[in-house]
Structure 1
């Protein structure tokens, strides 16, 4: 089975081209994906993975994704072979994606919001930890102490 799921940030805007003859759109870009581990000095290394997307997903990438956007890519690894002008054979590995999902808004990406999101989220948790949980409005007198209401058998559709 050849399946890859990657989450990372675009290193530049996607490049869109069309296959001659068929006119199929093809978008290419590089995805920076952080490695799992942190070095002793606290830094992380990233892998820069070439991505190729075809069809409507390629047009989506070209129209809506920009440098720095956090995306999820679902596809498979492809190894292409080509011959240089000197006759030497080279291999090129890329990920051919079937699906690309934007994981944050354009505004969030332009503000470098991954860190802002973490800060805002943790601040909201700290500020709101004493707030009551969701309570339905209107029927509070009909609810038992555990928050469940009585249901008549005639109300059940089966």
Structure 2
């Protein structure tokens, strides 16, 4: 069984592309995940995991999640390879392929909009009102 669940922060905004023949949307981005332990220098190490999202979820990612947002995703590990055209060497890379991404916090734009909300003041300043 090949199944993985990850929670991490986007290192940059997702890139949205479309597969030429089918028109299927594909979003790619990288998430940063801190390891559970501290190294000899007293610092946590971070893994940077490449992610590929396909279908409507890819369009969701491109529209609603941005750099720094905490996301959860469920997918599978894929190991792909290609031949470098310049050197002729075979290159192997690993990524997480998923169709399920959930933002665990609002986008930065929403946070900025909330900060711009004016302070509301009470219309009645009557201590006898219980609410």
Q: Which runs of 5+ in 2 are unaligned?
A: 113-131
CA RMSD, Structure 1 to Structure 2 (Å): 1.9
Displacement of 1:21 in angstroms is 1.1
Runs of 4+ deviating beyond 2 Å:
38-43, 107-111
Q: How many residues align?
A: 111
Greater helix share, structure number: 1
Q: Which runs of 5+ in 1 are unaligned?
A: 112-158
Residue 102 of structure 2 corresponds to: 101
Q: In the alignment, is the contact (CA less than 8 A) between 1:3 and 1:74 conserved in 2?
A: yes
Q: In the alignment, is the contact (CA less than 8 A) between 2:27 and 2:53 conserved in 1?
A: yes
TM-score with structure 2 setting the length: 0.78
Q: Which has the higher contact order (CA 8 A, sep 6+)?
A: 2
Residue 81 of structure 1 corresponds to: 81
Q: In the alignment, is the contact (CA less than 8 A) between 1:2 and 1:77 conserved in 2?
A: yes
TM-score with structure 1 setting the length: 0.66
Displacement of 1:44 in angstroms is 1.2
Structure whose CA Rg is larger: 1
